[in-house]
Amino acid sequence: MGRSPCCEKAHTNKGAWTKEEDDRLIAYIRAHGEGCWRSLPKAAGLLRCGKSCRLRWINYLRPDLKRGNFTEEEDELIIKLHSLLGNKWSLIAGRLPGRTDNEIKNYWNTHIRRKLLNRGIDPSTHRPLNDSTNSAQNNQEATTTISFASHVKQETDTNNNDNKANVFVELHRDSKRGVARERCPDLNLELTISPPHQNQETEDQVILKTGGGGRSLCFACSLGLQNSKDCSCGIVGTINGGTSGSGSSAGGYDFLGLKSSVLV
DNA sequence: AACCAGTCCAACCGCAAAGAC
DNA sequence: CGTCTTTGCGGTTGGACTGGT
């Protein structure tokens, strides 16, 4: 038994939206808010599937959208965020008010990729194109990144529902240097990861040196989980209000400064 | 003017996560 | 706790547009 289709395809329009459809969708959402997308088309009198309505609203009709060209600052911010987050367009979009994930994705593929290539930078790895260590090392790194990132996400989901977007960040288990630092030298981060600890077999210990302090954090604290029972560094209570004015909301360490100070 | 190749971007598709029951 | 439904995300596509010949 397969998945049921998201909508009754036989009686739905496809392709470009007409002005009338846009007006109907806008009017309905203004009156009722963004509710159940599945039932919205019928309620609004639209022959579209809910997915299509949602996409149209989010990417084109939302009143808070910023139309027009990307600024140089936005360009650079997208590059930095992409180097940290990878193709997590929705997270990147979350840091650029008025921009949508689809817009940023398109912009990345059409403009920024080329821009980076012209600079001699591989857009997918953010490393120099002629970096001979790229291919072999990246394969291993990619694997590590995926497993580690999923670990990060898992930890985050169970402990901090509101700040997923702030914490789900790509890290690299590179014992020689902090890769995140290398990719974004001006982010004022020093991220290194220690070799496996003698007593620690299952979890990577992250040593995260904040801007001025050079203080070491355990894995849990590095994720903003300093109240967690998994905290092993005993740094509880010394982080918040620490460096670079990165304020933290109730109980949340501003991981890598993503929340406020660096990434706007 | 006609054709073609390249570019751009709105919209679609499939999948996975989240939520409801 | 398992199953089903809904939502959201990222990759991809197709058509409109543009510039060159």
Which residues is A192 bridged to in the sheet?
Answer: A207
Which residues are within 8 A (CB) of A206 and not within 5 positions of it... i.e. 6 or more apart?
A171, A191, A193, A194, A217, A218, A219, A222
For chain C, which bases have at least one atom within 7 A of a protein Cβ? 4-12, 15
Give A115-154 pLDDT, tens digit per residue: 888 888 888 788 877 765 544 444 444 333 333 333 333 3
Strand B contact residues in chain A (184-213), C-beta within 7 Å = none
Distance, Å, A110 CA → B7 C1': 8
**Mean pLDDT over each residue of chain A, to the nearest integer:** 61
CB atoms within 10 A of CB A215: 16
* pLDDT, tens digit, 9 for 90 and up, residues A207-264: 333 333 334 444 434 434 344 344 444 433 333 333 333 333 333 334 433 443 344 3
Closest residue by Cα to the C1' atom of nucleotide B8?
A110
Token duo for residue A18: 């007409």
Which helix (H) or strand (E) segment is A107 a member of?
helix A101-107
A160 touches strand B (CB under 7 A): no
pTM > 0.85: no
Please report the DSSP string for A61-113 in residue order: I-TT---SPPPHHHHHHHHHHHHHH-S-HHHHHHTSTT--HHHHHHHIIIIIH
Estimate in Å the CA A57 to C1' C18 gap, whole number: 28
Q: Which residues contact A6 (CB under 8 A, 6 or more apart)?
A: A38, A49, A50, A51
Neighbours of A145 (CB within 10 A): 17
**Alpha-carbon separation of residue A13 from A10, A49, A59, A106, A146 (angstroms):** 9, 8, 18, 24, 38
A99 touches strand C (CB under 7 A): no
Chain B bases closer than 7 angstroms to a protein Cβ: 7-15, 18
